[in-house]
Structure 1
Amino acid sequence: MEDNECQASQTRLDELPDECLEIVLGHVTCLKDRNAFALACRRWFIIEGSTRKSLRVYGPLVFAPAYDPVLLPIFQRFPSLVSVSFPNCVELSDSALLLLQMHCPHLHKLALDCCLKITDHGLEHVANGCHQLQFLSLYRCAVSDNGCSFIASGCPLLQTLNLSHCQGVTDVGISALSLGCRMLKDVTISYCKNISGEGFSLCSSLEGLEADSCCLADCGIQNISKKCFSLQHLKLSHSLSGIRLSSFGVSNIGTFCKNLKVLNLRMCRFIDNFAVVKIATGCFILEDLNLAVCEGVSFEGWEAIAVMCKNLQTLHANRCRNFCDRSMLALRIGCTNLRFLYLHGCPNLSRAYVELFKQSRSQVKILTIECML
């Protein structure tokens, strides 16, 4: 009798509502396992498709002319996508983004890295349909200020933007983004040679800026430092000097960036003691400072860091030829919270002072492998 009651109380899988199966599938995070569920039966196939949140399409896996015919049924099967990535899809066209506009209205994240045929016209499609977009990467895309204007008008919730190697973008495009995307927090403009920095005047929400190998101007750095008062991470490594940017311009960082925690000036050979003293004095909560290959910084600058940067945890002094024994002695006495010191290739630093530092500051790890970031 008990066996018959137990059998009668059992529920068959096909009797469960879709909502229950969606909850079960929601606990399956491994992509291979989700695919296995989808192959079990037609019902699991439909439910897995309706609940899929992310999609990654690799360029080499799709024959170039077949992008659109392949993408259409994919987008139709996955109506709930919030994250889509097309890494190295060099033949991906603007028409593919039209499909995205039509079928992915809830998209939060879109990565188009090395999609060389994506233009402003494609960004117009994104702006017209993906109003909830928060993350956009356009690394090496053929976009310009017009595309930035489209995104600024259609994606007001944008928080993270990568424009690396987008040579068509200037301060005009940055100004449009600053005006339209008032929640913008992290921007990458590395290798964008036509941006001076003046376009960030309205970007008060900015917390992180990466501008490697750029041609920022003194007025641009001053503008960024003064207007972006929430800035916490700033990367200016390999900045090109001799045209528009000088040590005086960089010194504005110390004057205005009171919330800065990470500053990367690697290979900015024009940086001198004046800028470093201003930064050490003004950026009093700085935690990570990279001055690798900054040959113009001598004892005066290193002493200012040792005395003023009390919260500093990581310091890069690789290949600084003016980093000497006195500099090492100053760090030994100051920077009480220091944990990592990148140090090699300093010809004026003797081994004896390194050993003396190690004896007094055993908690500091001295690293000889240069960090290239």
Structure 2
Amino acid sequence: MPQCGIDYTNSLPDECLALIFNYITTTNDRNNSSLVSRRWLRIESQTRTSLTLHAPSYLPLSRIPSIFTRFNSLTQLVLRCDLYNTSINDHNLSLIASRCPYLMRLELRMCYNITDKGMAILSQKCKQLKIFSCIGGGFKAKGIITLLDGCSSLEELSVGYLDSGRLFEPLIIGSSSLKTLKMTRLSGRDWDTCLEMIAVSALSSLQVLHLEKLLYCTNTGLICVVEHCKYLKKLCIDNCEWGEIGNEALIAIAKYCLSLEELVLIGVDACRISLEAIVVNCRKLERLDLCESKAITDVEISYIAEKCVALKKLLIKECCVSDKGIEAFAMGCSTLVEIRVTKCRNVTHEVKDRLRARRGSLVIELDAVETEAVNAIICESGAQEHVAEVPPAAGHVAVAEPLNQSMYLLDLGS
């Protein structure tokens, strides 16, 4: 019989144990495993590749080296603050960047104390950066251009809640390898001109585009973009309350974006003519979200049910449809796997029963818990998905809580 109290993993090399940790995917299992011994804690930390760090200005400088010595294999990092605290500054960012030589994805959230100097530091120390995302920030055009010069392999750019969207024009124009572009709530009064310059200069390889709540963005700018982005696979347009993008742009999308697989329209009053063009030309369309449009009626929905040949997922939110339009999917669109209908006043639960009687395998959700349609499009960045909570190292007081499936929050308060 084997003797009790013997740890047979001690005979395993660190490299083998590290491989085992890569197969531990759940939060609790990975967290508990790291508490078995100091050796397991060390190896678990070294195999972790993604971290979300609460980064207010009171984050002690003495903590930064120890944190990033412990997690020395990071490829993805989120630095986040909030409206109630000032964020870390350029000096903090310099210490962090110097400890993350393999960083490929960086997200800055509400870090308003990071300036052009901080962006210059990133360009020098994180040259492998492929994905950059920021929600708010204190940097301007000079810092963005500097980041571009040092991160020539940038593939994904996401910017939001900044003082002027035009400041990012030089970055986008110079990013010939850009595949994903997301712009949210950027100020500026000449977005059409900006998009025209961007499209002509840089976006021929673009595959994912989000235009969300951009002031003064009209059909003109979007048409210019899709004319030059013929490889678009995922497109999200959030018109918000301004509603300056409409059928003219949708017809251009149908004409030029023949490889489109996912389309999200929020606040876009699409008529049957423009939807018909998309359905007929975009034969690879697998996901369609139609939200907050009074122009979407049973006529448009019935046509989609009849003509869509590849559609798998459909979301209808706050549109003027009724049971008649939804019931068209009982016989049409044989490829449909899931349909969600929410906040459509004329749609009743009776249609759910009728659909289920005809198509038992179809997933049907009526007035289910809402999820923003914009977030339905997920970038294929190849990010690691098995990250969990961070257990505190010996002698450190840390509070960890899960942020989402692939990241976690390490709160290092005073």
TM-score for both structures, normalised by structure 1: 0.75
Per the alignment, residue 366 of structure 1 pairs with: 339
Name stretches of at least 5 consecutive residues in structure 1 with no aligned partner. Answer: 39-44, 55-79
Residue 248 of structure 1 deviates from its aligned partner by 0.7
**Per-residue displacement from partner, 1:56-114 (whole Å, max 9, x unpaired)?**
xxxxxxxxxxxxxxxxxxxxxxxx87544323656325564466677876543332122
- Equivalence for 1:225: 199
User: 1:278 — aligned with what?
Assistant: 252
Q: Could you give the per-residue CA deviations for residues 227-266 of structure 1, whole angstroms, max 9, x where no partner exists?
A: 033322222222223xxx2221111232011221111112
Offset at residue 222 of structure 1 (A)? 2.8
3-state SS, counterpart of residue 106 of structure 2: strand
Q: Does 2:45 align with 1:53?
A: yes
Task: Select the residue among 109, 118, 136 that pairs with 1:165.
Answer: 136
* 2:237 counterpart (265, 268, 271): 265
Q: Is the 8 A contact 1:100 1:126 kept in 2?
A: no
CA distance in 2, matches of 1:147, 1:24: 37
Q: Residue 75 of structure 2 corresponds to which residue in structure 1?
A: 108
Residue range with higher mean Cα deviation, 362-371 or 226-235: 362-371
Of 95, 108, 115, the match for 1:144: 115
How many pairs does the alignment contain?
326
Give the aligned CA root-mean-square deviation in angstroms.
Answer: 3.3
Whether the 8 Å CA contact 1:229–1:256 is kept in 2: the answer is yes
1:112 alignment partner, SS class: strand
Residue 337 of structure 1 and its aligned partner are, at CA, apart by 0.8
Mapped to 2, the partners of 1:129 and 1:229 lie a distance apart of 35
Write the letter of the residue equivalent to 1:118: I
Q: Which residue is 1:31 aligned to?
A: 30
Q: Which runs of 5+ in 2 are unaligned?
A: 343-369, 376-414
**1:117-132 matches, cutoff 5 A:** 117-132=87-102
- The question of whether the paired residues in 2 share the 8 Å contact of 1:290 and 1:315 is answered with yes
CA contact (8 A) 2:80 2:110 kept: yes
Give me the whole-angstrom Cα distance separating, in 2, the residues matched to 1:206 and 1:124: 25
- Aligned residues: percent identity? 24
Which residue does the alignment assign to 2:220? 248
Distance 1:158 1:291, change over 3 A: same
- Alignment-derived partner of residue 272 in structure 2: 299
Matching residue of 1:154: 125
Aligned-partner residue type, residue 206 of structure 2? L
Indicate the residue corresponding to 2:353 in structure 1.
none
Structure with bigger strand share is: 2
Q: Which amino acid aligns with 1:202?
A: G
Instruction: Give 1:128 deviation, angstroms.
Output: 3.9
- In the superposition, the TM-score normalised over structure 2's length comes to 0.68
1:52 Cα offset (Å) = 3.3
Aligned to 2:13, the other structure's residue is in SS state helix
Whether 1:178 and 2:145 are equivalent positions in the alignment is: no
Which stretch of the first structure deviates more once superposed, 168-177 or 201-210?
Answer: 168-177
Q: How many Å separate the matches in 1 of 2:68 and 2:48?
A: 12
How far residue 147 of structure 1 moved from its aligned partner, in angstroms, is 1.7
1:210 corresponds in structure 2 to 182
Structure 2 letter corresponding to 1:345? E
Relative to its length, the structure with more helix (as a share) is 1
Letter in 1 for 2:328: L
Higher RCO (Cα < 8 Å, 6 or more apart): 2
Q: SS of the residue aligned with 1:48?
A: helix
**How big is the shift at 1:22?**
5.5
